[in-house]
Chains A and B, each alone.
Chain A
Amino acid sequence: MKIHFNNDAFTKSLIVAGFVYFIYSMMVSNQLAMYVNPRFFPLIQASILLLCILLVVQILQIFSHHKHHAACGCSHHNHTWVFIPFLIALFLAFAFSTTSLDAKIVDNKGLNTRLNLNNIPMLSTQSKQDSSAIDSSDYIALNETNFMNVITRMNNKREDYIGKQVEITGFVYREPTMKPSQIAIVRYALVCCSADAAPFGLLCENIDMYKFKANSWLTITGTIVVENYKGAEIPVIKVTSVEPVETPPQNQYVYPQN
């Protein structure tokens, strides 16, 4: 009896193993949140499990002459080109390191090239929910978890926020329509995965804002006023203090809907 070695099943096993290894290593090194919103983590753990099942099945097929294969002759249907998309994916996964979608993509005419500050108020024209906890405090520090919430509400109930102290950390973004005294402090919000990352931020104003370079990370503190920008009333921070952030966080996203 000759030993049967199924090349096709062998390649498939390697590919599945590659995917399992990549996703698992992203998970244990806490980098998965840079690809997808953490609310998907249970599903992704489930998919690692399912992939492991596929891996075992696939490895068993390397040496067994399964009747399924004998029946349809799958091996001759699977030409090598079939594996090319998988190999490209694995190459991209392992050849480069994980980064946040930072301001680079704003500069390089990529996704969301133009942060349209006018869009943000529209996102929230008719909010009915209130969160009195945030609305009632006079000092609001925006962080990873409340960022979207606060910005949405600030645009909804602009008047209620006038005069409040706000602290915000993010990267500097400039639109051509901004004055030299204006910058936007922006974070990318990840709704589902890095494909839908959308920039959210607040306009900040002070006479010396021109000296801060685009993409640099700042923590800005100031008081909220309402101003007209590109034909819409939006909340603006009148800056009182600026603190450069030396090392931006490894994970630069904020997550709505958690």
Chain B
Amino acid sequence: MNDYDSLANVSFYNLFSIFFSNIENFRMIFLGIVIEALPFILIGVFVSALINNFVSEDFIRRLLPKNKLAGIVSACFVGILFPICECGIVPITGRLIKKGLPVPTAIALMLAAPVINPVVAFSTASAFNGSWIIAGLRLSLAFIITILISLVIGRLFSNKHIATRATHSDTVDTIVEKDSEEKISIASKLSNTLVDSCNEFFDMGKYLLTGALLSTFVQTFVPYNSISSIGQDPLSSVIAMMAFAFGLSVCSTSDAFIASSFASTFTFGSILSFMVLGPMLDMKNMIMFFKVFSTRLIVTLVVLAVFFCGVTGIVMNYLLLGGIIL
């Protein structure tokens, strides 16, 4: 009846035509992700360069609460004032660590800012038809999980040299820092900011684009329905939705709309896991992590995030909260 039926008899010609009829869709999805991420990554890169040239380590040290936990908790709320998405926050986090922000505090900032902000709260509520309960649940779970992950990472990575990846920009920092703050004029600070922005744009951009290519590949060639058969299982639905969040790499402001379209076929806990894990960890920003963090820290972060989000989703399923809230 239609072209779809003929796909059953797979021939070389068919595979060939599937690939070529998909290249336009591939292109549209890929460029859509890139164009949408571009303003955020540019803002991230410029802010990072500004911090590099205008914010001293002293200033950050004075700004930070003395208490470690207080620092982590306050970092969780930075997103309320500066709602920045997951691709913009990675370069800023990397820069702040180099400027002396403790690793667990920086991790808290990076994990929380893309979820705990007004834009995400509003879009989640509107995706679930004005349900502020779901929005509140998403944000508070993200808050708890962020604190847990940051505390564990604080325990395991006390030394920032184990946590971060040495890059050539480190040498720039030390050179800039050797000159005292006063010696450098505002004008040269500004010109340094612009040059830094350029370099970081290309540094981060290659990771962003690679991540976008991979997630577009997943979107174009892995059908949604390949995971829908396990949608009602309390355990495997959570795992499937987390894998989906990771592969999809859509922005934290729009993922609630995707999550809501799964609400009838997937368990409530798996939908929550999707919405909490997605902004913390996805293919696009994980590739950017490799620019900033050591492989050991990335592996730890991934394991912790998947573990906590997974457990949350599974617990939610067994408490059967979905029946009350949805």
Chain B nearest CB: distance from A57 CB in Å?
Answer: 5
From B61-69, B75-83, B91-99, B250-258, the one touching the partner chain is B250-258
From B19-27, B142-150, B296-304, the one touching the partner chain is B19-27
B36 touches A192 (CB 8 A): yes
Chain B 1-31 per-residue mask, 1 if CB under 8 angstroms from chain A, else 0: 1111001000000000010011111111111
A72 touches B210 (CB 8 A): no
Partner of A122, one of B32, B249, B264: B264
Interface pairs (5), CB distance under 8 Å: A44-B38, A51-B42, A127-B129, A196-B250, A196-B258
B264 touches A257 (CB 8 A): no
Q: Is A242 an interface residue (CB 8 A)?
A: no
Q: Is B126 an interface residue (CB 8 A)?
A: yes
Query: Residue of A at shortest CB range from B252?
Result: A192
Chain A nearest CB: distance from B22 CB in Å?
Answer: 6
Q: State A220–B197 Cα separation when bound (angstroms).
A: 52
Q: Is B35 an interface residue (CB 8 A)?
A: yes
> Count the A-B residue pairs with Cβ separation under 8 angstroms: how many?
225
Q: Is A2 an interface residue (CB 8 A)?
A: no
Interface residue ranges of A62-105 to B (CB < 8 Å):
66, 68, 71-74, 77-78, 82-86, 88-89, 92-93, 96, 98-101, 104-105
B30 touches A192 (CB 8 A): no
Query: Which residues in B have their C-beta under 8 angstroms from that of A19?
Result: 38
Q: State A100–B194 Cα separation when bound (angstroms).
A: 37
Q: State A92–B40 Cα separation when bound (angstroms).
A: 21
Q: State A156–B24 Cα separation when bound (angstroms).
A: 35
B192 touches A198 (CB 8 A): no
Query: Which residues in B have their C-beta under 8 angstroms from that of A131?
Result: none
Known: A85-B205, A86-B209, A116-B264. 17 other contacts (CB 8 A): A23-B35, A43-B39, A57-B194, A58-B198, A74-B168, A82-B206, A86-B202, A99-B24, A101-B28, A108-B18, A114-B223, A193-B33, A193-B251, A195-B249, A196-B254, A214-B3, A232-B264
Q: State A256–B257 Cα separation when bound (angstroms).
A: 10
Q: Is B74 an interface residue (CB 8 A)?
A: no
A residues near B, CB below 8 A? 12, 15, 19, 23, 26, 32, 34-36, 40, 43-44, 46-47, 50-51, 53-54, 57-58, 61, 66, 68, 71-74, 77-78, 82-86, 88-89, 92-93, 96, 98-101, 104-105, 107-114, 116, 118-129, 152, 156, 174, 191-196, 198, 213-215, 232, 256-257
Q: State A82–B170 Cα separation when bound (angstroms).
A: 19
A12 touches B261 (CB 8 A): no
Provide the main secondary structure of the chain A interface.
Answer: helix
B264 touches A119 (CB 8 A): yes
Query: Residue of B at shortest CB range from A190?
Result: B32
Q: Is B180 an interface residue (CB 8 A)?
A: no
Query: Residue of B at shortest CB range from A78?
Result: B202
Q: State A178–B234 Cα separation when bound (angstroms).
A: 29
Query: Which residues in B have their C-beta under 8 angstroms from that of A47?
Result: 38-39, 42
Query: Residue of B at shortest CB range from A55?
Result: B198
Q: State A174–B210 Cα separation when bound (angstroms).
A: 35
Chain A nearest CB: distance from B263 CB in Å?
Answer: 4
Provide the main secondary structure of the chain B interface.
Answer: helix
B220 touches A110 (CB 8 A): yes
Q: Is B216 an interface residue (CB 8 A)?
A: yes
Chain B 218-235 per-residue mask, 1 if CB under 8 angstroms from chain A, else 0: 011101110010000000
Query: Which residues in B have their C-beta under 8 angstroms from that of A36?
Result: 32, 35-36
Query: Residue of A at shortest CB range from B203?
Result: A82
Q: State A3–B22 Cα separation when bound (angstroms).
A: 48
Query: Which residues in B have their C-beta under 8 angstroms from that of A125?
Result: 129, 326
Chain B nearest CB: distance from A171 CB in Å?
Answer: 12
Chain B nearest CB: distance from A105 CB in Å?
Answer: 5
Q: Contacts A118-B264, A192-B251: A86 and B206 contacting too (C-beta < 8 A)?
A: yes
A127 touches B199 (CB 8 A): no
A61 touches B198 (CB 8 A): yes
Q: Contacts A101-B29, A192-B254: A124 and B261 contacting too (C-beta < 8 A)?
A: no
B2 touches A107 (CB 8 A): yes
Partner of A34, one of B7, B28, B192, B196: B28
Query: Which residues in A have their C-beta under 8 angstroms from that of B324?
Result: none
A192 touches B42 (CB 8 A): no
B25 touches A105 (CB 8 A): yes
Kindly name the residue among A129, A192, A213 whose own CB sees the greatest number of chain B CB atoms within 10 A: A192
Chain B nearest CB: distance from A112 CB in Å?
Answer: 6
Q: Is B213 an interface residue (CB 8 A)?
A: yes
Chain B nearest CB: distance from A256 CB in Å?
Answer: 8
Q: Is B172 an interface residue (CB 8 A)?
A: yes
B264 touches A68 (CB 8 A): no
Query: Which residues in B have their C-beta under 8 angstroms from that of A122?
Result: 260-261, 263-264, 326
Chain B nearest CB: distance from A139 CB in Å?
Answer: 25
Partner of B225, one of A44, A113, A127: A113
Query: Which residues in B have their C-beta under 8 angstroms from that of A174?
Result: 2
